[in-house]
Amino acid sequence: MRRGSLPRTLLLFALAVSSLPGCASVSRTSPPAPTEKAPAAPLIEKAPAAKPEPAPPAAKPPAIPVSDKLFAEGMTALQEGGHERALELFSAAWREEPGHAGVAREFDGALLALKKNGDAAYAQGKPEDAGKRWTGTLRFLTHPAANPRGYPFTRTEVRAKVDRLSASLMEKALLEYRKGNIQAAIADWKTILSYDPAHEEAARSLRTASEQLEMLKKMPPGK
């Protein structure tokens, strides 16, 4: 081989190698391809919050029967010592509900207490109170809720007490009237009528005495 031919051979070899793909001595880095963005997920609209259902109305308590209300009022009157008032309310409850259990249970005790209080008032010198309680006893003795067979007195006995009281007051009133104490006589006749408005003799005497008292008031003094 001739000297000087080797460099040419090397040159040709180098050119051949450089033409091979991927063997370039200098390569430029190409920019990365743009990355495609994934399509955005569609927004899911939130459903409006459901309105809370209104609470069901509270159940109304059952209505109290009128008879029970009247009976309760009667028990209150009884506890306060109003025996006649209690008997009136018990009677009203019985009209609303015949055979009312509470009335059947309490009626006799209230009636016995009313008569007993009349006896006590008479003993204390309170004829008006005695007369009212005795006549009240007579009024309720015939009520369907009463059981008079178990009472320590009879209707006849109570009626006799009232009649004796009226007779005593009539006698006292006439005595006062004859003495000229017209106002005292009028007070006694009014007492009789307070518990026995149908007492005809007391009503007639009261009218006469009241008219006379008015005439006396109109007379000039000294006559």
Least confident window among 67-76, 111-120, 210-219: 210-219
| For residues 126-142, average pLDDT | 97
The answer to whether the CB of 110 falls within 8 A of the CB of 94 is no
State the Cα–Cα distance between residues 201 and 209, nearest whole angstrom: 12
Q: What is the pLDDT of residue 219?
A: 75
CATH numbers and ranges of domains, the chain: 64-153 (1.25.40), 154-223 (1.25.40)
| pLDDT (mean) for 134-154 | 96
Does residue 222 have a pLDDT over 80?
no
| pLDDT confidence of residue 98 | 97
Q: Give the pLDDT score at 202.
A: 97
Closest CA to 128 of 171, 202, 191: 191
pLDDT per residue over 52-74, tens digit each?
A: 777 777 777 778 999 999 999 99
> Has residue 6 got a pLDDT over 70?
no
Identify whether the C-beta of residue 165 lies closer than 8 Å to the C-beta of residue 127. Answer: yes
Distance of alpha carbon 177 from alpha carbon 187, whole angstroms: 11
Q: Is the model's pLDDT at 115 over the cut of 80?
A: yes
Mean pLDDT of 35-44: 56
Region 43-54 average pLDDT: 66
Q: How many CA atoms are closer than 13 Å to the CA of 155, on its beta-carbon side?
A: 10
Mean pLDDT over all residues of the chain?
Answer: 85
- % residues pLDDT > 90 (the chain): 67
- Residue 22 reports pLDDT greater than 90: no
| Range with lowest mean pLDDT among 4-13, 69-78, 172-181, 197-206 | 4-13
pLDDT at site 7: 55
